[in-house]
Amino acid sequence: MSVGVLALQGDFREHADVLRELGADVTFVRRPEELARISGLVIPGGESSVMDKLARTFGVAEPLRAAVRAGLPVYGTCAGLIMLADTILDGIVGQEGIGGLDIAVRRNAFGSQTESFEIDLAVPALGRAPVHAAFIRAPVVETVGPRARALATLPDGRCVAVEQGNLLGTSFHPEITGEHRFHEYFLQKVQTAAFAA
């Protein structure tokens, strides 16, 4: 199973380590030709506006949009969730996403780096044990459209994990807390989809 990690910016190495530990063959994706060799893609955390600019500069943004429309399984964490959202409520001027998730997100919804936090979340789709989640300058899903479904919410009701078909997104960073169940859940989507570019 060949899974790509978008390696333009952010914590792509941490995702690659988790995916390899789970048995996936990992390709770092920076150009369209690398995108054509994978069956699934992880978009890591980082800075969504920078990631957007680099994706367009390297010519991978439009091929990625087309691949998402064609059914490529994609998992986005933090900035990756922002990239997958159909609507970015507070993007910088000219910021574009990849789209695909029927959600509206707000960037840096929890404040600055100093207001980062960790919490245990109930995620019924992943079993009974709670998921330990780290939020670092994280977005929040303000609206979940009819095509998407919430997987996890904070105690105050704000949505922080969502899925829609082959797409999966989390506001938090399971790759840095030793929590592998979201990656396992994503790899199940990759296997089931059997996507061919």
| Helix, strand, coil in percent for the chain, rounding step 5 | 30, 30, 40
Distance spanning both ends of the chain, measured CA to CA: 13
Q: Going by C-beta distance under 8 Å and a sequence separation of 6 or more, which residues neighbour residue 157? A: none
- The reply to whether 173 belongs to the active site is yes
Identify the active-site residue in 15, 34, 78, 183.
Answer: 78
- Rounded CA Rg of the chain: 15
Grouping H, G, I as helix, E, B as strand and the rest as coil, residue 76 is: strand
- The reply to whether 175 belongs to the active site is yes
- The reply to whether 159 belongs to the active site is no
Identify the active-site residue in 34, 159, 163, 173.
Answer: 173
Catalytic residues: 78, 173, 175
